[in-house]
C-alpha cells in the first residue's frame, strides 16, 4: 500500500503536536535540507556522493550502525565532504518496539560506530531520526533524557517502494517549500534509484533558487 498522498497531511498534524522535533526550517529562507536514510550502502552511496559533488550540494545522512561498521570508509568520505551525519538506529528496528535499555544501546552503538569512522567526538553526534518515522511520546522523552535531538521530515516521496524516478522527483517538486526537510534513501530499499533521482532533482531545485543546508543549520535557525 502506497502512503505517499498521506504524508503531507500527517506532517500538518504531527508538527504542531510534537514541537520539540525538527520537522522543517522556519520558512523565511529559500533553503532545503536533503536527507538520506538507511546507509551507507557500498554501491548506492558512492554513486550518490558523486552526484552531490557534481552539483556542489551538501546533504544530511542518517545512518544505521550496522551499515557504518560495514562501510566505514564511505562514512568517513561523506563526512569529510562537509555533509552532516546522524543516527537512524543500529539495525532499523522501530524504536517503539524496543525497551528503553535496548533503544539506548542501539543509539549508543550507532553513535560509537559513526564516531570511530569519522573521527568525531560521540557527544557531537546527537541527531536521531526514528526508523520508519515511528515514535511515541515515550520515545521522545527518552531521546531528550539522553541528550539526543529528534529530526523528522516534511517531504516524504516514498522512494523506498521505487514508484519510478520521475514520480519521486515530481512528488518532491510538488511539495517543496522554503525550509523543507526532504527524505530519500540510499540503503537497500530505494537506494537503487537514489543517484539518478538526485541527479534530476538537484538542478530543478537549484533552478528555483533553493540552497542546500545542514540539519545543524536548521536547528540553529530555529532558536533565533
- How many CB atoms within 10 Å of residue 174? 10
- In this structure, are residues 112 and 67 in contact, taking their beta carbons and an 8 Å threshold? no
| Residue ranges of E strands in the chain | 31-37, 60-63, 84-87, 127-128, 149-150, 181-185, 211-212
- The yes-or-no answer on residue 88 being catalytic is no
Angstrom distance (rounded) from CA 68 to CA 64: 6
41, 88, 92, 185: the catalytic one is: 185
Closest CA to 35 of 99, 80, 78, 95: 78
- The yes-or-no answer on residue 37 being catalytic is yes
Residue 84 per-residue DSSP state: E
CA distances from 83 to 8, 16, 19, 59, 60 (A): 26, 28, 25, 5, 6
Instruction: Give residues with Cβ within 8 angstroms of 43, minimum separation 6.
Output: 191
- In this structure, are residues 63 and 110 in contact, taking their beta carbons and an 8 Å threshold? yes
Active-site positions read 37, 185
Amino acid at each position: 500500500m502506497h502512503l505517499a498522498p498521506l504524508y503531507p497531511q500527517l506532517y500538518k498534524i504531527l508538527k504542531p503536536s510534537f514541537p520539540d522535533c525538527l520537522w522543517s526550517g522556519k520558512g523565511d529562507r529559500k533553503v532545503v535540507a536533503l536527507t538520506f536514510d538507511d546507509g551507507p550502502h557500498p554501491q548506492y552511496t558512492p554513486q550518490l556522493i558523486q552526484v552531490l559533488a557534481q552539483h556542489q550540494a551538501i546533504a544530511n545522512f542518517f545512518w544505521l550502525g550496522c551499515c557504518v561498521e560495514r562501510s566505514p570508509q564511505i562514512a568517513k568520505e561523506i563526512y569529510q565532504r562537509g555533509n552532516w551525519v546522524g543516527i537512524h538506529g543500529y539495525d532499523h528496528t522501530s524504536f517503539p518496539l524496543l525497551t528503553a535499555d535496548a533503544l539506548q544501546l542501539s543509539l549508543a552503538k550507532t553513535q560509537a560506530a559513526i564516531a570511530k569512522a569519522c573521527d568525531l567526538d560521540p557527544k557531537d553526534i546527537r541527531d536521531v531520526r526514528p526508523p520508519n518515522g515511528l515514535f511515541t511520546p515515550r520515545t521522545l522523552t527518552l531521546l531528550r533524557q539522553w541528550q539526543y535531538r529528534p529530526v523528522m521530515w516534511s517531504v516524504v516521496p516514498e522512494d523506498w517502494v521505487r514508484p519510478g524516478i520521475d514520480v519521486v522527483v515530481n512528488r518532491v517538486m510538488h511539495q517543496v517549500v522554503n525550509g523543507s526537510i526532504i527524505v530519500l534513501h540510499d540503503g537497500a530499499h530505494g537506494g537503487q534509484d537514489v543517484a539518478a533521482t538526485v541527479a534530476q532533482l538537484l538542478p530543478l531545485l537549484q533552478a528555483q533558487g533553493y540552497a542546500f543546508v545542514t540539519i545543524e543549520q536548521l536547528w540553529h535557525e530555529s532558536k533565533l
